[in-house]
Amino acid sequence: MATQTVTGLDIGSSTIRAVEVNVTKARPVINAFGQVSIAPGVVQAGVIVEERAVTNALRQLWTSQRLKNRDVAIGITNQQVVVREVEVANLPEREMRQALPYQVRDILPIPVERALLHFYPLEDPGKAETVRGLLTAAPKDAVLTAVRAVEAAGLHVTRVDLASFAAVRSCAYASTQVEAVIDIGAQATTIVVHTDGAPRIVRTVARGGDDITTMIATRLGATVDEAETLKCRIGLNPVEGAETAEVIDDAVRPLITEIRSSLAYYSSSRSGEPVTRMAMVGGGSLLPGLVGRLADQLNVDAYLADPLYRVTDSRKGGGHDLLGRYRSSAAVSIGLTLGVAS
């Protein structure tokens, strides 16, 4: 059988990343990785605002990194995406697709005709009248805009996936314990509580690394670039810079509160079943001292996840290898390839 090549494409608010892998019997093997920056405002809260800018950035990425495969899986991040555990009528697959809009229309915050729906069963219902599963609903216009921008660059979209599910796929710890995968990006943070890779709740909050940078710049009178440097160097370590650390502490407090409320909601909805571990990914998770602060304040074990542990890297990376340096930010693009390969 010919080797299948798949590419995961993650379009973020400040950076577009692509990972190209060969699918083997053992595990996917990375052929190439590349990323390109995009201007502020081109993508806002996961929604592509300037299609042409994204298309041009993708052309630049494929040319500069000499990416060969043009069949891509793309990840969608949007605050309007609904992921909810529901119980629906147990129907054959084809009938389920036809009946799903009518079964869930009353629980969606957006009109069902403007949503793309998918139902993932969480159990084998046998001959039961109903089946419990995970409903996902994404705004149709946002998805179509992303597909259009990507295909205008000469690429072919073979799969559309939720970025949150891709992050879980690349980082989730396989066990029966309850874990939260927390992906902190520039403009948003996604919290997925799962058991053995099966998502239970998904929540996206409009807080990320840019909020910290903006507060540093405002309160210390620094430029955005200077504030970003201070954030990455000092973080929550007052020894390195007490004034900056105090500002960052104020900036991360609302994010910690959002994470705490999400974990508490899960526990209350599951008869007190606690989240026992937090896997941190995304560029924002690298803020010095953040993982330890979350563990201390939420009383939950936390660690930086490694999205590369389910793949093999065939490249000769070296000290300047982008993927090695930005592996935490590459969780979604890697997870997208794992979704195609599975």
Q: For residue range 203-226, list pLDDT tens digits in order.
A: 999 899 999 999 999 999 999 999
Instruction: Please tell me the CATH code under which domain 204-302 is placed.
Output: 3.30.420.40
Tell the residue number behind the tokens 């390195």, with chain if given.
240
Radius of gyration of the chain (CA): 20
What is the C-alpha separation between 34 and 18, in angstroms, rounded?
A: 5
What does the pLDDT read at residue 1? Answer: 47
Q: Which CATH class is domain 82-139?
A: alpha beta
What is the C-alpha separation between 321 and 4, in angstroms, rounded?
A: 24
Q: Are 204 and 164 in contact (CB under 8 A)?
A: yes
Q: Is 318 left (phi over 0), alpha (psi -120 to 50) or beta?
A: left
Instruction: Assign a CATH topology to domain 4-78+140-173+306-341.
Output: Nucleotidyltransferase; domain 5 (3.30.420)
In tens, the pLDDT along 252-309 reads 999 999 999 999 999 888 777 899 999 999 999 999 999 999 999 999 999 999 999 8
Q: Are 278 and 303 in contact (CB under 8 A)?
A: yes
Identical topology for domains 82-139 and 204-302: no
CB atoms within 10 A of CB 175: 12
Q: Which residues of the chain fall short of a pLDDT of 70?
A: 1-2, 316-320, 341-342
Residue ranges covered by each domain of the chain: 4-78+140-173+306-341, 82-139, 204-302
How is residue 155 annotated by DSSP? -
What's the predicted TM-score (pTM) here? 0.89
